[in-house]
Amino acid sequence: MDSQRADQLFESPPAESVSPAAGDTFEARRDHILQAATHVFAQYGYEKASMRTIAKAADVSLAGLYHYFERKEQLLFVMQFRVFSSLLSNLREWLVGVESPRDRLCTMIRSHVTYFAEHMAELKVCSHELDSLRGETYDQAREIRLAYYGLTREIIASVIELDPPDYPLDLHVATMSLFGTLNWLYRWWNPSHPTPPKVVASQITNQFLAGICGHTA
């Protein structure tokens, strides 16, 4: 992956490519393999998931797998990069036109929970395998994670500034408290859970808002 630029490698499938038919097929196969790998990672964990299992899940041969991804690590990296990018760009889109700090926080949580409910395997792997990458791949994934964290932190900060609580509140602790709740979702929530995602999102929002302000939304 060192031979290609990040913006060529990790974006969602491009609208066009140099060699149209072949290019489309290549990207589609690549996405299909990545999707299969994601579910294998989610089921077995990154270390225990073998390239042979991923190949079977993607319905390609072991050697064929290496035609699309140079290394096992690249599978995890590209997936994490795409997911964090999507989370961040989705959030930025949803935030357009939302000005009240409380509404922005509400939007952030709703955006995250919605994305989670629609991409459970991806977010499980992203929450659980944060330290499975090494070196440059870790740094790049970390960078975009921090951008997501930073944006959330700013939203929380403006909520607090507008309506400070009557007890000492550290901004970092508050932010990590929210991410803890959100990133723990994959441990207990699934599509067959009685509580629908919208209700979960709204309760987390209510709890967190009341928690950092002292009253509900």
Positions touching DNA (CB under 7 A) are 21-22, 25-26, 29, 49-53, 60-64, 66-68, 70-73
Residue range at the interface with a copy of itself (CB under 8 A); choices 4-12, 54-62, 75-83, 127-135: 127-135
Interacting partner of 51 out of a copy of itself, DNA, none (Cβ under 5 to 8 A depending on kind): DNA
Q: What share of the chain is helix, strand, coil (3-state, %, to 5)?
A: 70, 0, 30
Interacting partner of 188 out of a copy of itself, DNA, none (Cβ under 5 to 8 A depending on kind): a copy of itself
Instruction: Rule CB under 8 A: choose which of 93, 99, 170, 192 binds a copy of itself.
Output: 170
> Cα–Cα distances in Å, from 215 out to 61, 201, 202, 209, 211?
57, 17, 14, 7, 7
Rank residues 114 and 177 by Cβ distance to a copy of itself and give the closer one. Answer: 177
Residue range at the interface with a copy of itself (CB under 8 A); choices 22-30, 92-100, 104-112, 173-181: 173-181
Query: Can you tell me the distance from the alpha carbon of 208 to that of 160, in angstroms, rounded to the nearest whole number?
Result: 11
Which of 124, 25, 43 is closest to 80 using CA atoms? Answer: 124
Instruction: Rule CB under 8 A: choose which of 2, 93, 99, 131 binds a copy of itself.
Output: 131
Instruction: Rule CB under 8 A: choose which of 101, 105, 185, 197 binds a copy of itself.
Output: 185
Structure tokens, 182: 């959100």
Query: Can you tell me the distance from the alpha carbon of 44 to that of 48, in angstroms, rounded to the nearest whole number?
Result: 6
- 174 near a copy of itself (CB under 8 A): yes
Which of 191, 77, 190, 51 is closest to 129 using CA atoms? Answer: 77
- 62 near a copy of itself (CB under 8 A): no
Q: What is the four-CA torsion angle of 143, 144, 150, 155, rounded to 10 degrees?
A: 180
Sign (positive or negative) of CA dihedral 23, 25, 31, 34:
negative
Interacting partner of 138 out of a copy of itself, DNA, none (Cβ under 5 to 8 A depending on kind): none
- 40 and 53 Cβ atoms separated by less than 8 Å: yes
String of contacts with a copy of itself for each residue 10-49, x by CB under 8 A: -----------------------------------x-xx-
Rank residues 63 and 173 by Cβ distance to a copy of itself and give the closer one. Answer: 173
- 33 and 65 Cβ atoms separated by less than 8 Å: yes
Q: What residue ranges bind a copy of itself (CB under 8 A)?
A: 45, 47-48, 128, 130-132, 165-170, 172-174, 176-177, 179-185, 187-189, 195, 199-200, 202-204, 206-216
